[in-house]
Structure 1
């Protein structure tokens, strides 16, 4: 009966002998009812007791045993199963080594698919930088993550409409000669994707490498800072030819 739940044959036989009667049994009777050898019965009863499958009591000089009711046993086995599942998940996450390799990826649709997969898996935070059409195509998911309580910071080149407050917007003009199509996504400050166009084709890298994730997180803030500076002090910057020349060559 219980073998399919990880119990031994003797444990199953003893439990079944107890559940089929309406009164507690002593060890001698259990031996007769279950077919478990007398030399093994006390060991088996001890294991079942330790597993919480039977109750014990002493009456006079006899040690009596009775099983958990069948419905209670079912609930216990379900709870044990769920606990084991959680332990398995925890063990998997603890044992999974961090992949700090840098993976390369080509082709726009593949890069978009990986980007969306990263966004789906985000649990704590998302930093995303890109052009308005790219951001807009993922805006529903980003807003969903924001409503779920994640920190969502967006740097966008062009305009988008969103309820997310953490948005830095750069409206490009003719002075921004170094602007290039690119995407940065950093999730949970643990994994990132950077994509750009080279020879008219999208190419990307993806990694969990701590130093690279940190670098691109700082790079994200670099883009935000440049955007805020050029928007707030645009007139001042554009009047100073030396500052303008250097600033406009930076890649946002």
Structure 2
């Protein structure tokens, strides 16, 4: 019942209205105000005003008896949900026309921070859901599990999607490339051992939609950070980051991973720039966030 009440609140009912409506639906018979208050927890001083609002919204109806008593009957849930759907769609269609008219042109492309995993992933969902031409993602299984349904819908509506995924996926979607070279976070264990942080995850998330907006986030143990921007330069760099990573995976597949490992092992510069790719440790360190190792084993910040 509490979940239904919360969902109705999200669709515009007050808490009292939602509780009263759910009580009427669950009763299976008309109820008077006293009975609604007793069963729903709505205060008796508020129950008649609450029922009056439901009647005004046509979410409930009054049944007047011969002795002028009043009982209340709910609008059937199927009818209520269909009405809400129509009203929601009408509002969206209206806002699609009117809202852009009042939007002022930004004086600058700002970058704003996102705090916590929920805020970060919710904003990532927005970027994926709003994409209409292309999507670029650099992502780990933990985050892909949540974003995968929306990425699948983007593919269905014709969005060109490129996903570099750190590890295998149960159900790959879009233009999927498994990141296998170099081994994801190849030096993470060494870094964690030096910093006394063994067992912590270090992951980087990049989501770019329509080459117009981008989100970059990092996960390091219990630390989560993220930024979102429509700055064209940052968006272009994020797209290029994903494109070049995909190109590296294709090259490694073409010439063989063992050959690539031998090449990198014999070239210190290649090894320096490829180890730890996709990890959030360097960006965490640069942002001054806790939980990031100070350096790589050779003393350089990745």
- Alignment deviations for residues 92-119 of structure 1 (CA, whole Å, 9 cap, x no partner): 46x4437611111221121111111222
- The answer on 1:249 being equivalent to 2:259 is no
Deviation, 1:239, is: 2.2
Q: Do residues 123 (structure 1) and 132 (structure 2) align?
A: yes
Tell me, yes or no, if the aligned pair for 2:214 and 2:230 is still in contact at 8 Å: yes
Provide Cα deviations, 1:47-69, integer angstroms capped at 9, x if missing partner. xxxxxxxxxxxxxxxxxxxxxxx
Q: CA deviation at 1:120?
A: 1.8
Q: How many angstroms does 1:85 deviate by?
A: 7.7
Which residue of 178, 186, 194 corresponds with 1:176?
Answer: 186
For 1:150 and 1:224, the matched residues in 2 are separated by 18
Which residue of 207, 230, 238 corresponds with 2:261? 238
TM-score, with structure 2 as normaliser: 0.49
Structure number with higher strand proportion: 1
Q: CA deviation at 1:227?
A: 2.3
CA deviation profile, 1:200-222 (whole Å, cap 9, x unmatched): 41111110001110111111112
Match of 2:114, SS?
strand
1:133 lines up with 2:159 in the alignment: no
The two structures have a TM-score, normalised by structure 1, of: 0.58
1:194-209 matched pairs, under 5 angstroms:
194-198=216-220, 200-209=222-231
Aligned to 1:102: 111
1:224 aligned residue: 246
Q: Verify the 8 A CA contact 1:99 1:208 in the aligned structure 2.
A: no
1:159 pairs with 2:181: no
Task: Quote how far apart the aligned CAs of 1:228 are.
Answer: 2.3
Matches within 5 A, 1:23-62: none
1:142 aligns with one of 130, 146, 151: 151
Change (3 A) 1:138 1:99: farther
Gapped regions of structure 2 (runs ≥ 5): 1-93, 190-201, 279-302
| Contact 1:127–1:220 (8 Å) recurs in 2 | yes
| Number of residue pairs the alignment of both structures matches | 169
Q: What's the counterpart of residue 112 of structure 1?
A: 121
Residue 190 of structure 1 aligns with which residue? 212
Structure 2 CA distance for partners of 1:236 and 1:128, relative to 1, 3 Å: same
Q: CA–CA distance in 2 between the matches of 1:127 and 1:170?
A: 14
- CA separation in 1, counterparts of 2:171 and 2:258? 28
Shift of 1:231: 3.6
Sort the Cα spacing of 1:208 and 1:165 in 2 relative to 1 into closer, same or farther, 3 A. closer
Contact 2:184 2:277 in 1 (8 A): no
1:85/1:143 Cα in 2 relative to 1: closer, same or farther (>3 Å)? closer
How much is the aligned-residue C-alpha RMSD, in angstroms?
Answer: 3.0
